[in-house]
Amino acid sequence: MEYILDKVFSVEVFALIFILIVLKKSIIFVPQNRAWMIERFGKYQSTREAGLNFMIPFVDRIAADRSLKEQAADVPSQSAITKDNITLSVDGVLYFRVLDPYKATYGVDDYVFAVTQLAQTTMRSELGKMELDKTFEERNLLNTNIVTSINEAAEPWGIQVLRYEIKDIVPPRSVMDAMEAQMKAERVKRAQILESEGDRQSAINVAEGRKQAQVLAAEADKAEQVLQAEGEAKAIIAVADARAEALRKVGEAANTEIGQSAVQLDLATKAIEAKQAIAKESSVVLLPDQGTDAPSVVAQAMTIINSLNAKA
């Protein structure tokens, strides 16, 4: 009886262990951003994504585990010949991710190796279309062309290339020496241009300074002349006003009897002086009979003065 109980107990234990093993094999937990390829009897059955999944123990198996996250693959350094026959050593980094786990598993044996080799060949092809100077100036365009070409070729593999970055481009030593000499010449050229620009600007500044000085001097002379002219005009006006005032006062004084007498006396005096002047030039002086009359003397004096003025 005990033997039978031991047998039954052993069978139950074995069954329990077997059930636990079956349950453990049946339940699978796929991590986030991963995809497991399930095969049944060696044939693709399904793709299990993140979360709780079930499979038939001893029948189904996990054939491949594919990461759906972005991956980076180092592209080894390689030689490439540019359009102008310059040999370059180029390396880079490739960023890609798996879009279709089925194609990445059954469409290519090793998709990482395949896409890396494809990046190398594509890079050599794209560099062959460009000259040496363009490889440095248009590196972004080169990276874009490489990504486009790789995506077209890697589509059957379920791979999407996100970007390609060239890490370093190393030309031959002779080319580097020539480029260094060219850059040195360019720096010297720029320095000379800057120096000449500085001299030119300095000359312009000096000329502008001289021009401003001349303008200021001319303006000062003009202001001086204006002030002088204004002073002379004021002086002339003052003299004219004084003469006008003197004539006015003389006229007012001459308008009286005493003034008339003074005028006649002054005219008679000037007549006598005129006769004396005539006498110096001529020994004959003819005087009318009524020369002793004051009015006549004045009239004669006026005639003589007018005669002298006409001769002058």
* CATH number, position 123: 3.30.479.30
pLDDT at 293: 53
Reported as a pLDDT band with limits 50, 70 and 90, residue 10 is: confident
Determine, yes or no, domain membership for 57. yes
Please give the share of the chain, as a percent, with pLDDT higher than 70: 77
pLDDT in tens, 97-122: 999 999 998 888 888 999 999 988 88
Residues 82 and 144 both lie in one domain = yes
pLDDT in tens, 243-281: 777 767 766 766 676 666 666 666 667 666 766 666 666
Q: Which of 46, 67, 88 is the last residue of a domain?
A: 67
Residues 215 and 294 both lie in one domain = no
Determine, yes or no, domain membership for 176. no
Determine, yes or no, domain membership for 163. yes
Determine, yes or no, domain membership for 307. yes
Residues 57 and 19 both lie in one domain = yes
pLDDT at 188: 84
Q: Which of 150, 171, 192 is the last residue of a domain?
A: 171
First to last CA, the chain: 186
Residue 158 contacts residue 99 (beta carbons within 8 Å): yes
Measure the CA–CA gap between 308 and 312, rounded to whole angstroms: 6
Residues 167 and 77 both lie in one domain = yes
Q: Which of 23-32, 158-167, 288-297 has the lowest mean pLDDT?
A: 288-297
Reply yes or no on whether the pLDDT at 125 is more than 80.
yes
pLDDT at 8: 53
Q: Which of 98-112, 206-220, 284-298 has the lowest mean pLDDT?
A: 284-298
CB burial of residue 159 (10 Å; 0-12, 13-18, 19+): buried
Determine, yes or no, domain membership for 287. yes
Residues 141 and 166 both lie in one domain = yes
Please give the share of the chain, as a percent, with pLDDT higher than 90: 6
Distances in whole angstroms, Cα of residue 99 to Cα of each of 157, 184, 284 = 9, 49, 147
Sheet-wide strand order for 60-67: 43-48, 34-40, 60-67
pLDDT at 97: 92
Determine, yes or no, domain membership for 226. yes
The alpha carbon torsion through 27, 31, 33, 35 (nearest 10 deg) reads -40
Can you tell me which residue has the tokens 């059954």? Answer: 106
Q: Which of 3-7, 30-34, 156-160, 242-246 has the lowest mean pLDDT?
A: 3-7
Strand partners, 169: 90
Average pLDDT over residues 63-80: 88
Domain count, the chain: 4
Residues 75 and 162 both lie in one domain = yes
Residue 238, C-beta contacts closer than 8 angstroms, at least 6 positions apart: none
pLDDT at 96: 93
Residue scoring higher pLDDT (92 or 260): 92
pLDDT at 291: 46
pLDDT in tens, 18-43: 777 777 778 888 888 899 999 888 88
Reported as a pLDDT band with limits 50, 70 and 90, residue 93 is: very high
How is residue 46 annotated by DSSP? Answer: E
The domain of 7 spans: 2-67
Residues 79 and 162 both lie in one domain = yes
Long-range contacts at 175-184 (CB < 8 A, ≥ 24 apart): 175/86, 175/132
Residues 226 and 190 both lie in one domain = yes
Reply yes or no on whether the pLDDT at 7 is more than 60.
no
Residues 124 and 52 both lie in one domain = no
Residues 167 and 197 both lie in one domain = no
Q: Which of 35, 67, 99 is the last residue of a domain?
A: 67
Residues 236 and 221 both lie in one domain = yes
Reported as a pLDDT band with limits 50, 70 and 90, residue 197 is: confident
For all residues of the chain together, what is the average pLDDT?
Answer: 79
Determine, yes or no, domain membership for 178. no
Determine, yes or no, domain membership for 177. no
- E strands along the chain, which residues? 27-30, 34-40, 43-48, 51-54, 60-67, 71-81, 87-98, 159-170
Residues 22 and 96 both lie in one domain = no
Residue scoring higher pLDDT (173 or 112): 112
Measure the CA–CA gap between 38 and 53, rounded to whole angstroms: 11
